[in-house]
Copies of this chain bind each other. A is one copy, B any other.
Amino acid sequence: MTIHSNSTLVPDVLPGLAHRTLAGAEHGLEHLAIWSQSIAPQGATPPHFHDCEEAIIVQHGEGTLVFAGEQRQFRAGDTIIVPPSVHHQLINTGDGPLVLVAALSTANVVVKLPDGTPLDLPWK
C-alpha cells in the first residue's frame, strides 16, 4: 500500500492536452488506471477507442462528447460511461479548461485511433 503525490505532469501530450497518471502500472496496478487530464479551450482528445471500460468524472468546465455520429453536451458534475471499443471524442466547448478524471479497467491502456492504429502515448 502506498501514498503518492505530485504525479508527473505531461504538458501538451497532444496540442492543448495535459496529462497526469494518478494511478497505474507504475504504482503496481494491473487492472486499474486513473488519469487526470486538462484540455484547453477549443482543444479536444483525438477520436479514439480502447478495449477496456472507462468512466470519466467531469471536474471543471464543459464540453461535447462525440460518439457514433451523435453529439451530447456535458459539464462539471457529470460522469461519462464509455463501454469497451466504442469510438469517442471529447471536445472542450467552454471558455476555461476542461478538467477530467478518467478511470480505466486496465493499467495497460492501449488507446487506438479509429483505424485501429495504437497511439504512442508518452505516459504508461
Q: Which residues of A are in contact with B by a Cβ distance under 8 Å?
A: 1-7, 22-23, 27-32, 34, 52-55, 57, 65, 67-68, 72, 74, 77-83, 86, 88, 101, 103-105
Could you show 26 A-B contacts with beta carbons less than 8 Å apart?
A: A1-B65, A1-B67, A1-B68, A1-B83, A1-B86, A2-B81, A3-B72, A3-B78, A3-B79, A4-B79, A4-B81, A6-B77, A23-B81, A23-B103, A27-B81, A28-B81, A28-B83, A29-B53, A30-B53, A32-B32, A32-B54, A34-B55, A34-B79, A34-B103, A57-B101, A103-B103
Name the one of B7, B53, B72 contacting A32, with C-beta atoms under 8 angstroms: B53
Return A14 CB to nearest CB of chain B, in Å: 21
Q: In the complex the two chains form, is B5's CB within 8 Å of A81's CB?
A: no
